[in-house]
Structure 1
Amino acid sequence: MSETSLDPHAFRRALGNFATGITVVTAQSAEGERIGLTVNSFNSVSLDPPLVLWSLDKRSADSMALIRSAGHFAINVLAADQLDLSNQFARPQKDKFNGVEFSEGMGKAPLLDACAANFQCELHQEIDAGDHWILLGRVLAFDDHGRAPLLYYQGAYSLVTPHPRVAQRPESTEEDEALQGRLGNNLLYLMLQAVNAYQSAYLPKQQALGLSISEARLLILLSSRPGADANALALDSALPGSEIREGLDNLKLSGLVCDAGPGFCLTEQGRKRAREYWALSEQEQSQVFADYNSDQIEQFKEILNRIIRNA
């Protein structure tokens, strides 16, 4: 199709085949006026110097004027569980920051909490590009929180899922088979291999729901043991104390966990999220054990419980 005959709606639909992450670009003027814009045009440009870009519709002249005045902006890469934040900053409203937790970064640009990543930028260059401005930012600081990102594809929110070919195991060699023959009678080895095989398929799906592995584990434990303190969670989760503290802080920051005396409990939102994780866990369990009858599964549970009790 030639440029002169481009249908703008068809063109937008074709562009939608390129899945993108979702960011909220924020800035604050010297007078304290803040802006927040949901943007999926974010991209990297250069490592040396560290440059990133995003584009702004020319109809947003007031936002452009504020960014020029501020000289700085922040790019907040949304995590998979921040769909509501994306919608909040995408809609026109008087105070988009109402109820939003954030801190101030360089140039007082708001840094949204619990994101996948935050980039603090200095306005580096403006490029006039059709009906948009392309804004290049020089990255002055960043935080990588390692959370699964929220994606946008064909006009709908999406999540990261692993490609099935990535999870395939390579073909075994004769040497591998010989080693497997020697290890095949070692129960500890078999149990570890079984856990690794289970997790290789399950954990990417769990992470796609938005929480880190440790945060999800704590959420599930608290749904079964409300009021558990850090010591009890350490025993049940097998996580180091630093991960438990960080995980609980992140869960509280996200409004999923609250203090309950010496222990912790899920909020109503936390209980809702926990049900999502339980549903995923039960779905995965059903798939993995689909070829075993109920008696075999009960016997397997009994063996595992005996090992746990006698450890």
Structure 2
Amino acid sequence: MVAPTTLVLLLAVLVVLYPGWLNRILIDPFPSPSPAKSAVLISGTSSGLGRNAAFLLANNGFTVLGTVRSAEDADKLRDAWKEVQHASQSGEIIPIKMDVASDESVAAAADDVRALLEERDLDLAAVVNNAGVNGQGPVLSRAGTAMSYAWTFNVNVFGVVRVTQAFLPIMKESSGKGGRVINVGSVAGVISQDNSSPYTATKHAVEGMSDAWRRELARDDMSVSLIQPGFIASNMCDSPICDKSALPEFSNAVLHAVQDPYPKTRYAVAAVVVMPAWVAVWVDSILPDRVADWVIGHISLE
């Protein structure tokens, strides 16, 4: 008979060396949505990461409900989609007007989506919480005031809560068990940067929420994944270190989290300066705090 301590050691070795295999041994696969019968809601698709992910999902056959804040943004999204859509696929992008910072706007959008799904006989397969803002400012500055924290939290944290709570019931109604929630966090949710505490604090909060939701929603065969982008060029990341070529890596992570039977719990994508994001996250986890502070303090982000 194998001793309990030996079993614990064997399990620890498996966790470290073979996480993918262990996942398949212990965890049942999640239901995979059929693109032709499924819609995916993505918040914040007027530009950048959200728009690119919307294009990829639609070109893989999904009906993408891309949220925007204005009629002008909706028209721009439609026009941009016409330029990149692949005729061989049946996917589509439908702009949905929604402001994640407003209870009323999110509720109205949920009503619109419910009616649209019924009209087209589609299931809501996934919700991608992508919309966000980049609250910046040192703690001893006007930019770092409580108002900056409140604004950033209202979009990046409470917006994620609003959207998820509004659309989870629709996902359950339309598809029964199953469904995916994908939260877009940031490497900043693990590696804090000076002068950006409002943004960093929100992304740390999204990390914690995603872990808690994942354990809670697993009872309904619903997957929760967190994407942790590094420095990808967008409206929120416009310095020379932000890499536009990393957009496909982000979008492929969203697609995998939406449809793979074994979605990852975390996707660290792109790079932090010259280091792959997943390596940066791992290195930060093993360095002593003061050493990590010294390293980050000597890296130029200009």
TM-score for the superposition, normalised by structure 1:
0.24
Higher-Rg structure is 1
Structure number with the higher strand fraction is 1
